[in-house]
Chain A
Amino acid sequence: MLQHYGPQLINLLAAVLLLLAFAMLSQRRILSLINLFAAQGAVLCVATVLVASVTGQSHLYWSAGVTLLLKVLLLPWILHRLIRRLNVKWDVETLLNIPTTMLVGIVLVILAFNLAAPISQLAGTVTRSTLGIAMASVLLSFLMMITRSKAVPQVVGFLSMENGLFFAATAAVYGMPMVVELGIALDVLVASLILGVFLFQIRERFDSVDTRHLEKLKEH
C-alpha cells in the first residue's frame, strides 16, 4: 500500500513545500510568516518519514525527528518569543512589490527545474523528481532574503533556505550521513541563537530592526 502510494504522496508533499515557499514570499504579516515556516518544517518532517518508510533508510527517521524538534517546535518558538520581546510591528515591508516578486519567483522555479534535470536523471532514488522542487525552494528563500527589509523576515528566509537544502539532500541521496546532519542542525541552532542576541543589539542601537538602517557602510 505504502510502497505503491508512497512515491506519489512524496511528490504531493513536495508540491506543498513549493506552495508554502510561494506563500512565504507573498506573506505580509510577520506572525503568519513564522507560522508558515513552522508548517514548512512539518511538511518536511512528514515527507522525510515517508521517504524513510518507503525506502527503509532508518537513519532518515532520526533526521525527521531532529527536523520536528528543531524546525517545527524550537525555532518557531524562539522566533515567536523574539518578536514578542522585540515588540516589532506586524507588517513586513518589501523592497519590491509582491506581484513582481512572484513573477521573479516563477522564473526562478523554471531555472531550478532546468538546472536539476541533468542531476535527477542520474539519481537512483524514488524521490529524484522532487530535486527540482528542492532547488526551487532554496532559490525562493534566497529571493525572500534579498527582497525583505526587516531583520526577522530575513532570518526566516535564511532558515527556510536551510529547509530547502535539507529536502534537496533527502531527494538526491536520502539524506547526508548522520554526523553531518547533526552538525548542520547544531550550526542552524547556534546561528538562530546568535541572531536573536544580535537583533536585540541592533534594536538597542537603532530603536528598530529595520535593516535599511544598516546601509551606511558604502563605497564613497
Chain B
Amino acid sequence: MTAAMLLLLLSPLVGGAVLALVGHRRYAAEVNVTFCLLTFGASAGLVARVIAQGPVTALGEEFFVDSLNVFLVALTAFVAMTTSLFSRPYMRIERSHGRVSDAGMRLYHSMYQLFTFTMLLVLTTNNLGVMWVAMEAATLTTVLLVALYRTHASLEAAWKYFILCGVGIAQALFGTILVYFAAERILGAGIGSLLWTHLDAVKGELEPTVMSIAFVFLLVGYGTKVGLVPLHNWLPDAHAEGPTPISAVLSGLLLNVALYALIRFKVLTDGALERPFASALLMGFGLLSVAVAAFFLSRQRDIKRMFAYSSIEHMGLITFAFGMGGPVASFAGLLHMTVHSLTKSAIFFAVGHAAQKSGTQLMENIRGLVKASPTIGWGLMLGTAAILGMPPFGVFASEFLILTTAIAQQPWAAPILLVSLGVSFAAIFGKVQSMVFGEPTTARLPHRPALMPVFTHLALVLLLGLYIPPYLADWYRRAAQLIG
C-alpha cells in the first residue's frame, strides 16, 4: 500500500527534478513519457489494492484512498500518460516551427511532471489544508506554461489565469480555515481537525452556520478552478493560448480535480446541515454554467476557445448532477467525469495537430481535414460526435442518465438543460463539419503526428457507452454512495 502510494507521488516529483536537469536534450520527451508510465503503473497498483481491501489510509493518516478518489487517480495518471505520448511529436513540431525556445522546452517538461504531482497530491491527501496548498501549486505550475509562447495574447491569458485563480483560491483558504474552526470545537486543535476522515466521522456535529458560510467560500474558491460561471473568465483564454497538451490536461484533469475537492466539502456540509443547502448551490451554479456556456459557444472563432467553452458546459452538467444527488445522479456525474475527461483530451489532441497543419486556430481558415489527413480529420469528427452526446458513445449514456433524473427530480431544470444541449450541438457540429470536410488548406508537418492517444481515448469512451464492466459499475456505485 505505502509503496504504491509513495511511488505514485514520488515518480512525478522526481521526474520534475530530473527533467529540469535533462533540459532540452533530444530524449527529454522520452524521459517524460517514462515517468508518466511509472506513475500510471503505481496508480494501477493502488487501484488493485483498493478494490481488494476497500478504503485505506497510508503514511500515518496523511493519505487516504477510497473508491471516490482512486478512480480519479487512475484517470489522472492515464490521461497524463497519453498526453505525454501526444506531446512528444507535438512539442517537437512546435520547436521546429520556432515557437518555443530551448529553455521553454526544459520548463515545459519539468512543469508537466510537477503539475501531475500537484494533482495527484490533491486527490490522495487526507489533509484539507494540504489539499489547498497543492491546488494553489497546480495553478503555479501551469501559469508559466500558459505563457510559454510569450505572445501578447498568451501573456495576457496567463496573467488573467494567475490573478483570477489566485483570488479565487484565497477564498477557498478562508473556507478551509472556517472548516478547521468548526472541526476544532469538536476534535480539538491540531492536525487531526483537518483530516477528512476524522471530519467525516463527526460531520453531524459540525456547527451548521459556520459550515454553510465555509461552503460558500469554498464554492467560490474551488469553483473558480472548476470554471463555473460567473467565475470562468480565465478558462477560455488559458486553454486557447497555452500549448495544446496543456489545454488537454487542464480540461481533462485539472477541472475534475477541482470539482473533486468541492465534492469532498459537499459531503461534510451535507452532513452538518439538515437542509440541502450545498446541493441547491451546486445545482444553481451548474445550470448557469451549462446555459451560459452553450450560448457563448456559437460566437467562438478560435477552435480551442470553442472547446474550452464546451468544457465549461460539461463541468456545469457534472456539478448539476452532483447537486441533484442520489445514487443515479451521482453515478451519472462520475461516469460523465470519466468520459468527458477522455473525450475532451482526445479532441484537444486532434485539434492540436489540425491547428499545426493549418497554421492557425481560427476555424474559418481550417478546411478539409479529412482530405489532408484522414486520421486527424476523422479523429476530430468522431471526438466531436462523442462529446455532443451521440449514441453509442459513453457521453450519451451519462447525459441520458442526468437528463432522465432531472426530469424526475427537478422538472423545472430539464427544459433549460435540453435547450442548452441542443444549442451547443448545433453550434459545435456546424463548425466542426465545415472544418473537417471540403477542400484542404493544409501544410505538411515536420514530424509524424501522434494519433494513437486520440483513438485509444475514443475507443474507451465507445466501450463505456456500450458496456460498463461490472467491477467498474460497482466501483462507481460505491463512490456515488459516498457522495450521497
Contacts and interface: CB of A to CB of B under 8 A. Distances in A.
A216 B155 contact: no
Contact of A198 (B130, B162, B194): B162
Interface in B225-277: 237, 241
Interface in A182-217: 183-184, 186-187, 190-191, 194-195, 197-198, 201-202, 204-206, 211, 213-217
Interface residues of B, number: 47
A161 B185 contact: no
B437 interface: no
B181 interface: yes
A115 B159 CA distance: 31
Interface stretch (A16-24, A63-71, A101-109, A167-175): A167-175
Nearest to B216: A115
Contact of B166 (A158, A186, A197, A216): A158
B210 A205 contact: no
A168 B181 CA distance: 11
A180 B181 contact: no
Contacts of B177: 165, 168-169, 172-173, 176
Contacts of A138: 170, 174
A183 B133 contact: yes
A213 to B, nearest CB: 8
Nearest to B192: A177
B61 interface: no
Contacts of B144: 194, 197-198
A202 B159 contact: yes
B181 A172 contact: yes
Interface stretch (B17-25, B69-77, B135-143, B322-330): B135-143
Nearest to B137: A187
Given A119-B213, A122-B185, A205 B157 contact: no
A217 B153 contact: yes
Q: What secondary structure prevails in chain A residues at the interface with B?
A: helix
**What bracket does the count of chain A residues touching chain B fall in?**
35 or more
Contacts of B143: 194, 198
Contact of A187 (B133, B157, B167): B133
A74 interface: no
A1 interface: no
Contacts of B299: 219-220
Contacts of B152: 205-206, 213, 216
Given A201-B155, A216-B152, A195 B189 contact: no
A162 interface: yes
Interface in A111-165: 115, 118-119, 122-124, 135, 138, 142, 145, 151, 154, 158, 161-162, 165
7 contacts: A165-B173, A169-B180, A179-B127, A180-B129, A194-B140, A213-B156, A214-B159
Interface of B: 127, 129-130, 132-133, 136-137, 140, 143-144, 147, 150-153, 155-160, 162-163, 166-167, 170, 173-174, 177-178, 180-181, 184-185, 189-191, 194, 207, 209-210, 213, 237, 241, 296, 299, 301
Interface of A: 115, 118-119, 122-124, 135, 138, 142, 145, 151, 154, 158, 161-162, 165, 168-169, 172-174, 176-177, 179-180, 183-184, 186-187, 190-191, 194-195, 197-198, 201-202, 204-206, 211, 213-217, 219-220
3 closest Cβ pairs, A-B complex: A180-B129, A183-B133, A214-B156
